[in-house]
């Protein structure tokens, strides 16, 4: 990878992935592709090139690929699961139409493509515990339908046209830089904000709702390592189960209370999110990723919680100081 375009560059994953990629491959070699409604700011804007790339506009993708001689595209444009249920047509247009546009540009210009899939690509009939790599994928959400379609389309482009497509199935991602929006796993980010702000947390999911989760530094490493992996070892491509921790609301709440003793939580269920979460696996088996490209997570719930609390406190303090100044 030398010249990289990140589409959806200002979102939860993109805003951090770009900074990590710039650190590895050079600031000038990583382009932040964004939509005008979400322009890059601060260090993301100042540290390297940025261009408007709406994934639903194939010409914009092609123009930026040509201008910067792009050889690798990270396609991070998507609507998350809960918001996608409110806008299913748009979710398909971005998730599948956008991926098709990206793959076509990649086919013409010889680019490798990373497109994340998700725990949301599984459904109610999937084995829920230690979900295998190759198993039933009949999701009940439009988000999941776009993710399974994306896995199939990406494998098709690899087989039919030789496009170097690779992917991982991300668990819920927990981070403090850019908040997620409209996902089912977002509660596991929001709960840290409440803890640091000293607020009572209203949990939208009931106790016993287990889902796979991952701390952002591990997710970023996975996205980079899969694209750097030796292709001769890859039996799978789109998409690899990856995992690091699985918990329910009670477990994460009690972990945070170890560090924030007075922290309180109450349940205020969101029926849509509960239904989606109930259809997803409790935990994934990531042994194929471990065998085929040496995937290994570094953060468990305890290490993540300590790091989240320290960094979120710093971030909220800086933001408060900026408001005062």
Q: Which residues are marked as active site?
A: 143
Q: How far is CA 109 from CA 32, 33, 51, 64, 114, in A?
A: 19, 17, 18, 11, 15
Q: How many residues line the site for ligand SER (CB under 6 A)?
A: 11
Nearer to ligand SER, 120 or 281 (CB): 120
Within 86-115, the residues that bind ligand SER by CB under 6 A are none
Is residue 120 involved in binding ligand SER (CB under 6 A)? Answer: yes
Q: How far is CA 5 from the centre of its chain?
A: 16
Nearer to ligand SER, 105 or 168 (CB): 168
Nearer to ligand SER, 62 or 83 (CB): 83
- The least distance separating ligand SER from the CB of residue 98, rounded to whole angstroms, comes to 16
Residue with the CB atom nearest ligand SER in the bound state: 183
Rounded CA separation 89/123 (Å): 20
- The least distance separating ligand SER from the CB of residue 84, rounded to whole angstroms, comes to 8
Nearer to ligand SER, 31 or 205 (CB): 205
Within 148-177, the residues that bind ligand SER by CB under 6 A are 170, 172
Q: How many residues does the chain have?
A: 325
Per-residue contact track with ligand SER, 30 to 69, x per CB under 6 A?
A: ----------------------------------------
Within 209-228, the residues that bind ligand SER by CB under 6 A are none
Segment lying near ligand SER (by CB under 6 A), choices 2-10, 62-70, 118-126, 251-259: 118-126
**Which of 158, 149, 5 has its CA nearest to residue 70?**
5
Segment lying near ligand SER (by CB under 6 A), choices 55-63, 125-133, 178-186, 200-208: 178-186
- 162: number of CA atoms within 13 Å, CB side? 3
Segment lying near ligand SER (by CB under 6 A), choices 116-124, 157-165, 232-240, 250-258: 116-124
- The least distance separating ligand SER from the CB of residue 65, rounded to whole angstroms, comes to 27
- The least distance separating ligand SER from the CB of residue 278, rounded to whole angstroms, comes to 13
Rounded CA separation 270/176 (Å): 23
Is residue 185 involved in binding ligand SER (CB under 6 A)? Answer: yes
Interacting residues with ligand SER (CB under 6 A): 80-81, 118-120, 143, 170, 172, 183-185
């Amino acid at each position: 990878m030398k010249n990289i375009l990140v589409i959806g560059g200002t979102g939860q994953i993109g805003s951090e992935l770009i900074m990590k990629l710039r650190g590895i491959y050079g600031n000038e070699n990583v382009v932040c592709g964004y939509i005008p409604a979400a322009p890059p700011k601060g260090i993301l804007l100042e540290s390297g090139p940025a261009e408007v790339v709406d994934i639903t506009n194939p010409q914009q993708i092609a123009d930026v690929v040509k201008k910067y001689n792009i050889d690798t595209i990270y396609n991070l444009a998507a609507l998350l699961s809960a918001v996608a249920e409110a806008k299913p047509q748009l979710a398909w247009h971005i998730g599948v139409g956008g991926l098709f546009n990206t793959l076509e540009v990649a086919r013409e210009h010889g680019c490798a493509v990373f497109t994340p899939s998700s725990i949301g690509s599984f459904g109610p009939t999937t084995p829920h515990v230690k979900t295998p790599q190759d198993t039933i994928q009949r999701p009940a959400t439009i988000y999941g339908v776009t993710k399974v379609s994306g896995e199939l389309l990406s494998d098709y482009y690899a087989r039919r046209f030789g496009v170097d497509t690779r992917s991982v199935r991300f668990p819920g991602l927990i981070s403090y830089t850019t908040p997620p929006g409209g996902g089912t796993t977002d509660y596991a980010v929001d709960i840290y904000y409440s803890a640091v702000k000293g607020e009572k947390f209203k949990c939208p999911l009931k106790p016993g709702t287990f889902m796979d989760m991952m701390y952002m530094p591990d997710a970023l490493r996975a996205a980079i390592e899969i694209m750097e992996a030796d292709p001769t070892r890859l039996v799978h491509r789109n998409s690899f189960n990856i995992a690091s921790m699985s918990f329910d609301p009670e477990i994460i709440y009690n972990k945070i209370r170890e560090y924030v003793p007075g922290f309180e939580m109450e349940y205020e269920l969101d029926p849509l999110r509960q239904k989606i979460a109930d259809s997803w696996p409790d935990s994934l088996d990531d042994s194929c990723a471990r065998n085929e490209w040496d995937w290994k997570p570094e953060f468990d719930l305890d290490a993540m919680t300590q790091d989240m609390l320290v960094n979120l406190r710093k971030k909220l303090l800086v933001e408060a100081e900026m408001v005062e100044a």
